[in-house]
Amino acid sequence: MSEKKKNMLLQGGILAGAGLITKIIGFAYRIPMSNMMGEEGNGLYSIAFGIYNVALTISSYSLPLAVSKMVSAKIAKEEYRNMHRVVVNAFLYALVAGLVIMIGLYLGAGAIEGVYNKQGLARPLRILAPTTFVVAILGVFRGYFQGHGDMVPTSISQILEQVANAIVSVLATWQFMKIYQESKESASYGAAGGTLGTLAGAASALFFMIAFYLLTKRRYHKRRRRNERVESNSHIMKVLFITLIPVVLSQTIYQIGYTIDDFMFSNLMPRRGYTDLEITSLQGVFNTQYNQLINLPVAIATAMAASTLPSIVISRMQNDLWGMHQKITQVIKVNMIIAFPSAIGLAVLAKPIMLMLFPSLTTHHEQAVILLASGSSAVIFYAISSLTTSILQGANFMRIPVIHSAVSLAIHIALLGILLMFTDLNVYALVICNVLFPVIVSVLNCRSITTEVGYEWEYKETFLKPLYASVAMGFVAFAVYQAVSQRISNIYVSCIAAIVPAVLVYGVTVIQIGCFSEEELLAIPGGAKLARFLPY
């Protein structure tokens, strides 16, 4: 196993680990925050955050990926002056785009509140507006370090960002709810307190990245060749836009899907006789209780996708097709080993998970359990769609994922409209379409990776074996939980008693059925210890 491949997995593991830590922190602080805000406050918070994510996607969400791709390509060709110009132009783009989106979101918050027919929505939106500018600048720094193959600065900044976010969000929500508890808009103030933490977290991460760059810039400084061909700023900006636009469109389609769901749900459900309070509460359950749990394991795939991109770009620039195929196999296998058990675990333990994490959720508790159990498969398909999108972009097929996402979104919107208008599925229609969207993207992306990249899928090793091991794990978890919970009323003890043997069964099964070869295990950090238990 080459050192480059080991380093890719190590860096991917670092970023994935940081992504998981940040998601755990994010999930942990959302529990007390959501319990303080209540279902209406959660609904306002989730809708505001969905709109913010769309604004962020347009202005800067794609910057780390685009800058990383361009920086790694320049480094592969040893064009260090051009690499420097890429970063400078990316900063100019971030400044302009961040300011425009910030001003637009702040001034347009009132109009957006009217469109969504959600009183109090403008308040959290105005606090989120300056965050878009901060995150735009932050994205350039992260892309710069990721392009060098160094995921450590991004990982540290993400953890720091989430810690600051957690502290400020909980404290601000508690304080705002206390001050405005007699107000009719207490839910709106609570949501605003939660969004204040997002701004504080982004600012903390930016200060760290600036300090880190100033302290370590010599480490990343490469000697510039005298005969290096220097590209004009206009050419670099053109290439930056060519790189950014497909990524922006692809990510915008992903993010706008949630916002469109909120918009359609808010405007179509009154026709079925639902009140504004019921609608907002159901949206809070879907976006907070369901989506937060689904997004927790997906964070690993997102981080691995970001870390894989520079390595795939370099392999493509060096015409190393075999190396690129090996990297694709490794990163997808690692993610499926995590995604399948996560999905099945969430499904079989949905009820105790909801009882433990959201004890204040009384009105819609049963619905939240059904949502999680029926929609947990989204973990697998969002992981596949995120990874395959990054693979296609790294292989320079930038437009293909955009087309696939657009096709999937069109089907998603059409089906959601039909289900909301002609059935009484209400919030269950959201989860059906939430699973359908990544399924379509995954299928289309996988097909294009075969036809365009020439990759041959190892379906049995990549998908079927992890599924088999995960099903075995699920049976054990469910059986043990049922047996223990009938004798012990403590839900925490019952869950731990179910999870421990289930994890052991899964680990043994994965090794015994040969999900990984010895060579692949040795490439994974810590895999040498696991390789000793291989049966072959």
- Helix, strand or coil, per DSSP, at residue 33: helix
* pLDDT of the residue at 266: 84
Q: Using the predicted structure, report yes or no on whether residue 487 has a pLDDT greater than 70.
A: yes
Q: Using the predicted structure, report yes or no on whether residue 333 has a pLDDT greater than 80.
A: yes
* pLDDT of the residue at 76: 77
Task: Give whichever of 78-82, 292-296, 494-498 has the largest mean pLDDT.
Answer: 494-498
* pLDDT of the residue at 283: 80
Residues 173, 181, 369, 259, CA torsion sign: negative
Give the residue, 418 or 120, on which the prediction is more confident.
Answer: 418
The closest of 51, 362, 44 to 173, measured between CA atoms, is: 44
Q: Using the predicted structure, report yes or no on whether residue 149 has a pLDDT greater than 60.
A: yes
How far is it, in rounded angstroms, from Cα 74 to Cα 308?
A: 17
Q: Using the predicted structure, report yes or no on whether residue 170 has a pLDDT greater than 70.
A: yes
- Confidence bin at 445 (pLDDT 50/70/90): very high
* pLDDT of the residue at 291: 82
* pLDDT of the residue at 253: 76
Cα-based angle 526, 302, 1 (whole degrees, multiple of 5): 35
Q: Using the predicted structure, report yes or no on whether residue 1 has a pLDDT greater than 50.
A: no
Q: What are phi and psi of 231, to 5 degrees?
A: -85, 150
- In the numeric block, which tokens belong to residue 372? 């999680």
pTM for this structure? 0.72
Q: Using the predicted structure, report yes or no on whether residue 429 has a pLDDT greater than 70.
A: yes
* pLDDT of the residue at 377: 93
**Window from 204-208, 218-222, 493-497 with minimum mean pLDDT:** 218-222
What pLDDT, in 10s, does the model give residues 241-282?
Answer: 877 777 777 777 777 777 788 889 988 998 888 888 788 778
* pLDDT of the residue at 160: 92
What are the DSSP calls for 148-180, one per residue?
A: TT--HHHHHHHHHHHHHHHHHHHHHHHHHHHHT
**Window from 114-123, 336-345, 403-412 with minimum mean pLDDT:** 114-123
Give the residue, 173 or 360, on which the prediction is more confident.
Answer: 173
Give the residue, 77 or 124, on which the prediction is more confident.
Answer: 124
- Confidence bin at 468 (pLDDT 50/70/90): very high
Mean pLDDT (the chain) is: 82
How far is it, in rounded angstroms, from Cα 317 to Cα 331?
A: 19
Mean pLDDT to the nearest integer, 327-338: 84
* pLDDT of the residue at 224: 55
CA 153 to chain centre: 18
* pLDDT of the residue at 469: 94
- In the numeric block, which tokens belong to residue 400? 């293909």
Residues 526, 528, 534, 536, CA torsion sign: positive
The closest of 134, 8, 129, 147 to 64, measured between CA atoms, is: 147
Distances (CA, A) of 72 to 154, 310, 486: 16, 6, 56
- In the numeric block, which tokens belong to residue 447? 């097909």
* pLDDT of the residue at 58: 72
What pLDDT, in 10s, does the model give residues 501-523?
Answer: 999 999 888 888 877 766 666 65
The closest of 128, 96, 121, 349 to 240, measured between CA atoms, is: 96
HSE (side-chain half, CA atoms, 13 Å) at 514:
8
What pLDDT, in 10s, does the model give residues 291-329?
Answer: 878 887 777 666 666 566 566 766 776 777 887 888 788
Q: Using the predicted structure, report yes or no on whether residue 441 has a pLDDT greater than 50.
A: yes
How far is it, in rounded angstroms, from Cα 448 to Cα 443?
A: 9
Mean pLDDT to the nearest integer, 121-150: 88
180: amino acid identity, one letter: Y
Q: Using the predicted structure, report yes or no on whether residue 119 has a pLDDT greater than 50.
A: yes
- In the numeric block, which tokens belong to residue 318? 């060096």
158: amino acid identity, one letter: Q
- In the numeric block, which tokens belong to residue 261? 């769901």
Q: Using the predicted structure, report yes or no on whether residue 222 has a pLDDT greater than 70.
A: no
Mean pLDDT to the nearest integer, 441-466: 91
* pLDDT of the residue at 413: 94
The closest of 488, 393, 375 to 437, measured between CA atoms, is: 375
Q: Using the predicted structure, report yes or no on whether residue 526 has a pLDDT greater than 60.
A: no
* pLDDT of the residue at 227: 54
Q: What are phi and psi of 530, to 5 degrees?
A: -70, -30
* pLDDT of the residue at 507: 86
Q: Using the predicted structure, report yes or no on whether residue 56 has a pLDDT greater than 90.
A: no
Percent of the chain with pLDDT over 90: 27
